[in-house]
Structure 1
Amino acid sequence: MKDDLKYLSGFGCEFASEDERCPGSLPVGQNSPQKCPYGLYAEQLSGTAFTAPRLENKRSWLYRIRPSVTHEPFALLEDARGSLTCNWDEIPPNPNQMRWKPFDVPTRQDPEVDFIDGLHAICGAGDPRVRSGIAIHVYLCNASMHDKAFQNSDGDFLIVPQLGALQITTEFGKLRVEPNEIFVIQQGMRFSINVFGPSRGYILEVFDNHFQLPNLGPIGANGLANPRDFLTPVAWYEDREIQFKIVSKYQGRLFSCRQEHSPFDVVAWHGNYVPYKYDLDRFMVINSVSFDHCDPSIFTVLTCPSLKPGTAIADFVIFPPRWSVQEHTFRPPYYHRNCMSEFMGLIKGRYEAKEEGFQAGGASLHSMMTPHGPDARCFEAASNSKLAPERIADGTQAFMFESSLSLAVTNWAEKICHKLDEDYYKCWKGLVKHFDPNWKPADEQ
């Protein structure tokens, strides 16, 4: 089935949609009539405080067959794996450069693991109870969610599929999300994910604020991710009376409840608090270097700002296929120590600065002030290559979750998953001393 989509057109704008099977189900001229068309219930979903400034205020009205309050009490779900956590003190801190080989995905022959059961926390900081911080996860699954929905009461998910397409049903409608696309499902929105075989991907979760487009500053009105390329679903409902399981992530723990009907019974909706997806191929790259090197912030797709101007709780940054034009400079990324934490993943291809060890479906973490940069092989090749316009990263899509927070790694990521590359540090061992105290420019020799 082809998904019905509509352009998001811009963040902060107002959108509306109704299922074509029920024309006129969306009230016109008033938000909450005494009696909604078709006998529907009106329900508001708020993503910000009621009194947030108009440009920042997020809310949507849902016109649904039954209100979402009609469910049995929530009960704690025991997590036997212990891999979904926001306890950042379970193991001692580790400041070393860290790299993971591709995370194992359950196959078709393995027991069924759906999206919820396949969530594993890698690292994070902060506390969802005080609405401050982030968490980074991977999902590793091989089965669809059957008569089950998930809602994140702690924050927003930015989902980056790496292996396998996701068919996502939300209260707002349906979306199909392929690798090299991203999907943002915001706090409190219920959704269910169908997969078509072994599936793997990355998730950036923010507890505070929401993702938005970065300011462009001197770039001007055009460039990077354009608002028109973000898509949100068209209203779609199902009226099924069935035992349905709702799983809620609340204060870092999972809870479940039962209800007698599908939660995807929204016939019409309007507002500016919606799920959306974006095709990374639509990103407009800007990069021409006369000297030194541009900072990776020029590749920012979405940002979740902190209260400190110019500093993000989290940025989502990509390194897409592009022309690289430069002179009088070293083309690959510079060696770096940073007051930010940098988590990188690879959707496909070979990352230019570490072509051998950094693999699709794996990850790396360079913590605050931990030095990092191109491996020895990349440095030698780039130092001796001709500086000319060059196509780089064709067939490749690497990304970075960057945060101003100091991230702690979970026990699952460091010890249980058995994917941590203990030899990562060796990729810099070949960087030899080139220093010559008698060096002179060529025209003085």
Structure 2
Amino acid sequence: MSVLQRILAAQAPCRKDSWLYRILPSVSHKPFASIDQGHINHNWDEVGPDPNQLRWKPFEIPKACQKKVDFVSGLHTLCGAGDIRSNNGLAVHIFLCNSSMENRCFYNSDGDFLIVPQKGKLLIYTEFGKMFLQPNEICVIQRGMRFSVDVFEETRGYILEVYGVHFELPDLGPIGANGLANPRDFLIPVAWYEDRQVPGGFTVINKYQGKLFASKQDVSPFNVVAWHGNYTPYKYNLENFMVINAVAFDHADPSIFTVLTAKSLRPGVAIADFVIFPPRWGVADKTFRPPYYHRNCMSEFMGLIKGHYEAKQGGFLPGGGSLHSAMTPHGPDADCFEKASKAKLEPERIADGTMAFMFESSLSLAVTKWGLKTCGCLDEDYYKCWEPLQAHFTPTSRSPTEPK
């Protein structure tokens, strides 16, 4: 693999394209026909809105002995907003699979996929070459790129899909040239091809306007012998993220943990940000160090790749998730609050062995029927984690140094 270098670093709008040199043009295929949609769903009016704090237990992976499920048939839409046809919006999907895609590939005519594996390793074949992906890494398959996924065990992960825009590095502003996700750490595939006839036909699955269609062709679609350009799939190891943090007092906004952003037309407002909470030092003085209780204008879907997220002592587990909608209050559970309130403020390591992330959006997300009703993983008791909170307000107390 080679370094992505300045493809993602360019902050000004630039043309994105690639030239692919094929053994046989991709137009050589039978007509597309509609197929079973499975659990892919872009109908945001399927069930009524729910402003409550939502949390899901780890999403269950089908057992291979009961039913073989590959990456495409294992896609489940959890929530989203916007409109595919007008190229504005996003969707959050969960993938739950136990088998590889055999003589099948997939491409998305609607938007970009940011793939976050949580359990199991993926070998992703693309028209540009191969990428090996494992937990604590991410990859982006951009709109229209064909790919196939091999898995080696029961596999689970998260997908952030954005329509009409592409992921890019956030503007660093006063941070300057270095920090957060550095361009040098992004990797892209080198050309690899297979010149293979497929008896019975190779199935190409297309997601178009939120629906699935399939076509047959006689040869493998991964017959690209060479390519050049800047419109490519790419991957990134989250361990390479350079953390910026508060070193005096107070909290910095979680935007300092942004790996990639998909901008909207409004300056400073994102359709979606991909944010991580990696291992780091906490040194802020006179500060309640866990995330403070808040309401804001963003929708926050959180997932956990591994470990224990510091602001949630129980119930938030790897392979699960939570959704806090716009203006819905949320923050640390009662156990975390009590522990942090009594802790001695000295330098401490935070999140060792942990990687939590957030898909944050300026859009108001709707949850699908699968997410609210049929997945079987919704934690109905989530609200109870805040019930033990006690008031500690003492209006008559004064600091010894406070003047009378």
Tell me the distance in 2 between the aligned counterparts of 1:404 and 1:84.
22
- Alpha-carbon offset, residue 209 of structure 1: 0.8
How big is each residue's C-alpha offset from its partner over 1:345-390, in whole Å with a ceiling of 9 and x where there is no partner? 0000000000211000000000000000011111111111111111
The runs of at least 4 aligned residues of structure 1 exceeding 4 Å deviation read none
Tell me the distance in 2 between the aligned counterparts of 1:72 and 1:95.
45
Kept after mapping to 1: 8 A contact 2:130/2:190: yes
Question: Structure 2 matches for 1:283-294, cutoff 5 A?
Answer: 283-294=241-252
How big is each residue's C-alpha offset from its partner over 1:167-186, in whole Å with a ceiling of 9 and x where there is no partner? 00000000100100001000
> Cα 1:261–1:102, aligned 2, differ >3 Å: closer, same or farther?
same
Question: Structure 2 matches for 1:110-129, cutoff 5 A?
Answer: 110-129=66-85
- Alpha-carbon offset, residue 294 of structure 1: 0.8
Question: Structure 2 matches for 1:191-210, cutoff 5 A?
Answer: 191-210=147-166
Tell me which of 5, 9, 17 is aligned to 1:9: 5
Provide the residue aligned with 1:178 in structure 2: 134
Tell me the distance in 2 between the aligned counterparts of 1:178 and 1:339.
33
- Alpha-carbon offset, residue 222 of structure 1: 0.5
Q: Are residue 356 (structure 1) and residue 314 (structure 2) matched?
A: yes
Tell me the distance in 1 between the aligned counterparts of 2:48 and 2:23.
50
> Cα 1:128–1:78, aligned 2, differ >3 Å: closer, same or farther?
same
How big is each residue's C-alpha offset from its partner over 1:112-147, in whole Å with a ceiling of 9 and x where there is no partner? 000000000000001111100000000000000000
Letter in 2 for 1:101: K
Provide the residue aligned with 2:238 in structure 1: 280
> Cα 1:355–1:13, aligned 2, differ >3 Å: closer, same or farther?
closer
Kept after mapping to 2: 8 A contact 1:12/1:55: no
Q: Are residue 410 (structure 1) and residue 361 (structure 2) matched?
A: no
Kept after mapping to 2: 8 A contact 1:12/1:272: no
In structure 2, stretches of 5+ residues that fail to align are none
Tell me the distance in 1 between the aligned counterparts of 2:31 and 2:9.
35
Provide the residue aligned with 2:114 in structure 1: 158
> Cα 1:424–1:438, aligned 2, differ >3 Å: closer, same or farther?
same
Kept after mapping to 1: 8 A contact 2:123/2:133: yes
- Alpha-carbon offset, residue 325 of structure 1: 1.3
Tell me the distance in 2 between the aligned counterparts of 1:300 and 1:326.
20
Provide the residue aligned with 1:438 in structure 2: 396
Provide the residue aligned with 2:98 in structure 1: 142
Tell me the distance in 2 between the aligned counterparts of 1:428 and 1:12.
41
Question: Structure 2 matches for 1:23-422, cutoff 5 A?
Answer: 55-79=13-37, 81=38, 83-242=39-198, 243-422=201-380
Tell me the distance in 1 between the aligned counterparts of 2:13 and 2:271.
20
Tell me the distance in 2 between the aligned counterparts of 1:414 and 1:54.
40
Letter in 2 for 1:181: E
Kept after mapping to 2: 8 A contact 1:72/1:259: yes
Tell me the distance in 1 between the aligned counterparts of 2:196 and 2:300.
44
How big is each residue's C-alpha offset from its partner over 1:254-285, in whole Å with a ceiling of 9 and x where there is no partner? 00000010000000000000000000000000
> Cα 1:9–1:410, aligned 2, differ >3 Å: closer, same or farther?
same
What secondary structure sits across from 2:197 in the alignment? Answer: coil
- Alpha-carbon offset, residue 13 of structure 1: 8.0
TM-score by length of 2: 0.97
How big is each residue's C-alpha offset from its partner over 1:27-62, in whole Å with a ceiling of 9 and x where there is no partner? xxxxxxxxxxxxxxxxxxxxxxxxxx9842110000
Letter in 2 for 1:149: C
> Cα 1:12–1:298, aligned 2, differ >3 Å: closer, same or farther?
closer
Letter in 2 for 1:293: H
Letter in 1 for 2:152: F
Tell me the distance in 2 between the aligned counterparts of 1:54 and 1:350.
38
TM-score by length of 1: 0.88
How big is each residue's C-alpha offset from its partner over 1:210-255, in whole Å with a ceiling of 9 and x where there is no partner? 0000011111111000000000001000001111000000000100
- Supply the RMSD in Å over aligned alpha carbons: 1.4
Work out the number of aligned pairs and report it: 401
> Cα 1:173–1:89, aligned 2, differ >3 Å: closer, same or farther?
same
Kept after mapping to 1: 8 A contact 2:133/2:139: yes
Tell me the distance in 1 between the aligned counterparts of 2:314 and 2:396.
35
- Alpha-carbon offset, residue 73 of structure 1: 0.5
Percent same amino acid at aligned positions? Answer: 66
Kept after mapping to 2: 8 A contact 1:13/1:272: no
Tell me the distance in 2 between the aligned counterparts of 1:430 and 1:282.
38
Kept after mapping to 1: 8 A contact 2:8/2:183: no
> Cα 1:214–1:99, aligned 2, differ >3 Å: closer, same or farther?
same
> Cα 1:54–1:314, aligned 2, differ >3 Å: closer, same or farther?
closer
Tell me the distance in 1 between the aligned counterparts of 2:342 and 2:101.
52
Letter in 2 for 1:408: A
Tell me the distance in 2 between the aligned counterparts of 1:115 and 1:443.
62
What secondary structure sits across from 2:370 in the alignment? Answer: helix
Kept after mapping to 2: 8 A contact 1:107/1:197: no
Tell me the distance in 2 between the aligned counterparts of 1:329 and 1:306.
33
Tell me the distance in 2 between the aligned counterparts of 1:54 and 1:387.
42
Tell me the distance in 1 between the aligned counterparts of 2:291 and 2:391.
19
Letter in 1 for 2:171: N
